[in-house]
Structure 1
Amino acid sequence: MLKTLQLAKNASLFCSKPALIPANRLQLCVCSVSTEANFGLQKTRVDDNILLQKSATSRPGAPLVLMYSWLAAKQRHLDRFSKLYLNKGCDVVYVQIKPLQLLRPTVGSQKIAEKLVGLVQDSGHNDRPLFVHTFSVGAYLHSETLTKMSQHDAMHQTAIVDRIAGQVFDSAVDLDNVPYGTSRALLKNHLAQNSLEWILNAFLKVTYKHTMAHYEKAHKTFFCNPASTPLLFLYSQVDPVAPASTIERCMNILKNDHGKEVHSKSFESSAHVSHMYQYQNEYVAALESFLHNLSCFNDEKPK
């Protein structure tokens, strides 16, 4: 209870309203560049949230893959997924959100989204198709990015959203499950998880204007997805963080109410964001089948 009261007391931290910086004016600060000789990989650290990975087999015209990670994911966890795209000549942008950035949308997730829009509009990437692969809460961050892309397109007569060729949602978390999912991602002890979940639920109620209101807008953006491209949902029948019933209801709404082309693959018993590890062959087959129908992946691929 004391922690909850302290959170409520500090709710003013969420009241700041930074000015929106047009994405074409964002200055991308490259923090570091490293190369892994074994795989010919060049990793460019844009900031603490964004990492650009290029391989020696990168080919002109191949999609720039925006890979939104789950909370507390390590880069080595995402490497297995990124290699699928790097081997096709794509470059991969890792995008990761931290817990406090998730809980402070105006100075957290929305600022990451602005920086990402600036990156895809950079002169090295502004003529490339985009492909999206999200995990867990990454689906929320992608929704914030879609909002910033749409704003940029309206302000500058660009067409960033139209460059999106396809979108994959692995274990997508609905806004109602943010407290549950966050507590499970950060803690292992069951009692501690329940306590943190309770605290976060209380916190979101007292900071509604500065937290949940933004989540709800992102929720609407997700369903009214401005990108008219195919969607692939990958989920488990036993995932309590991203329940199958919620995802299946979401797919039905997208398909029947919004006319989206929706594909899916359900896994029988894998844990949250663990489908690839437990069902690698099935996961890769579902993804490859989805990519095969996208023209940007049908060009000649590097060996």
Structure 2
Amino acid sequence: MVHSLSASKKQQFVTACSCSEGRRPDADRVWTMIREVWLRHKPLLLLYNIVNSSSIKPAPFYKGVFDTTSLPPVSSILQMRRLQMLQVSHGLLGRNMSTQTVRISEHMELKQTAVDKAIPGKKPLVVLLGWLGATGKSLEKFHPFYTRQNCDILTIRPQAYHFLWPPKASILTRDLLEYLKSNHTNKPIIVHGFSIGCYVYSMLLLHLAQSSQYADVKEQIQGQVFDSVVIGGLKQMTIGVSKSIHPNALVRALIENTLMAYFSVTCNVTVNTFDEAIDIFKNSPVKAPCQFFYSLDDPMCDPDTLKLAMESLEKQGNLVFAKCWPKSGHTLHLKNHPKEYEETLNSFLSTQKLTVGTIMSKL
């Protein structure tokens, strides 16, 4: 074994591992790196991959000891390790499934999983509509529910101005529909919205209701998941925006009062559009099963108003499921109740045949 070589052998090993430029790197650094590769990263497999990718001959083994005269230069191994770490950081390598992330626009990002040839048809696409202030790291906590089922994930992170000026949200959702129409035809789509993201989805529903050019996209939507819907009135919406902007209660109160004054001045563009969005949410043109997650202590979600919305969706023929907690918090259900959240979501997807193995038959 390498780590059992004598001091003289170790010196020979370091000398043999000189860089291609003729310079010898720091011996302790080289030895530490090679020891790590040997003990933790399966050097035989690593060297085999190097051979396949760059035609470097691997070092043969004699009685369990390296023949140091034919080792690849240290610079090659370091380059391989750096490349491997870069790929892992970008999601190109993984224990179970390879992924890659592509930025579509300022607000849209696509995470693609490797194609599984054992599963026929096209992979489902999950449209993840985040809450205000949601970071990529926060939203990535929801990715495993879908990536392990070989789904691609399109993440949309709305900003405050999409709420404050609805025409901006209208442009965002129109661009989203155009992208789906052009790049994801005939794919099953699952929508998973959070908080203000559900409002953005309502703006998308307005486009679907007003234009037939996106009829195919409407038919592709096979499931809808709504987490912490902001509903109950304009006050709930302003609370949501203020909490995403500042943590201090006094500052939030000032923001809320300012927003209410702003909405009173711009009501023809803002408030009227919000009313249309709430109405289209209750009378959605999309006919697909719905799963709601909410809590009774959420200041941005009025339970009674939400129940009326769910009843309206049921009357239109949609299957509606709900998971409610007495205490949880806004968009904190996965954090506060991880096991119940996962079980409920997985049950919804499997019961409604929205998992990748069976969703293909719906199209």
* Shorter-chain TM-score range: 0.7 to 0.9
TM-score (norm 1): 0.81
Count of residue pairs brought into register by the alignment: 263
Which digits, 9 at most, give the CA deviation of each residue in 1:206-252, with x for residues without a partner? 10111111111111111110111111110012111223333223223
CA distance in 2, matches of 1:157, 1:143: 15
Matched ranges for 1:1-303 at <5 A: 35-39=90-94, 40-56=98-114, 60-106=121-167, 108-122=168-182, 124-152=183-211, 154=212, 156=213, 158-174=215-231, 175-176=233-234, 177-256=236-315, 258-297=316-355, 299=357
CA contact (8 A) 2:149 2:356 kept: no
Deviations 1:66-114 (A, max 9, x none): 11000000011011112211111110110111111211111x1011101
Higher RCO (C-alpha 8 Å, min separation 6): 1
Contact 1:146-1:226 at 8 Å conserved across structures = yes
| Aligned counterparts of 1:158 and 1:134: Cα–Cα separation in 2 | 21
Letter in 1 for 2:175: K
**Counterpart secondary structure, 1:210:** coil
Cα distance in structure 1, aligned partners of 2:159 and 2:343: 31
Q: Could you say which structure has the higher helix fraction?
A: 2
| Residue aligned with 1:128, SS | coil
Identity %: 27
Largest Rg, 1 or 2: 2
2:123, 2:188 within 8 Å by CA — same for their partners in 1? yes
Residue identity matched to 1:173: V
Shift of residue 295 of structure 1?
3.1
Q: What does residue 40 of structure 2 align with?
A: none
How far apart are 1:37 and its partner, in Å? 3.0
Q: Is the 8 A contact 2:208 2:214 kept in 1?
A: no
Letter in 1 for 2:312: I
Runs (5+) with no aligned partner, structure 2 = 1-88
CA RMSD of aligned residues (A): 2.0
Q: What are the ranges of 5 or more consecutive residues in structure 1 without an aligned counterpart?
A: 1-33
1:154-200 CA deviation, whole Å, 9 max, x = no partner? 2x384221111010110000252111111112110000011101110
Do the aligned partners of 1:57 and 1:86 also contact (CA within 8 Å) in 2? no
